């Protein structure tokens, strides 16, 4: 969910999770893991991004600017290239 602790679940959280997945280190901050592990399996992976995106898109109070939509698409393309 709210991986950057700004009290909002949004594209910035997606970016942070994608960055964690794409990084070459396994050193994930302890306060980020529970927020980023959307499916609760103890790992941060593509399924967590999918769950977060679905959560954001399913929230009727969420609105996206064009820039945020572009950022979301960019992060999804990054994941597609890796996997």
Mean pLDDT of the chain: 84
**How many angstroms separate the Cα of 28 from the Cα of each of 4, 43, 54, 56, 65?**
13, 10, 23, 23, 29
Identify the pLDDT of residue 13: 92
pTM, two decimal places: 0.74
Identify the pLDDT of residue 62: 65
């Amino acid at each position: 969910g709210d991986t950057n602790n700004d009290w909002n679940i949004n594209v910035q959280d997606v970016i942070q999770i994608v960055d964690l997945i794409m990084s070459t280190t396994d050193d994930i901050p302890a306060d980020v893991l529970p927020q980023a592990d959307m499916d609760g399996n103890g790992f941060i992976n593509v399924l967590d991004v999918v769950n977060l995106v679905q959560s954001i898109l399913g929230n009727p109070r969420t609105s996206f600017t064009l820039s945020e939509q572009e950022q979301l698409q960019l992060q999804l393309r990054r994941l597609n290239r890796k996997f």
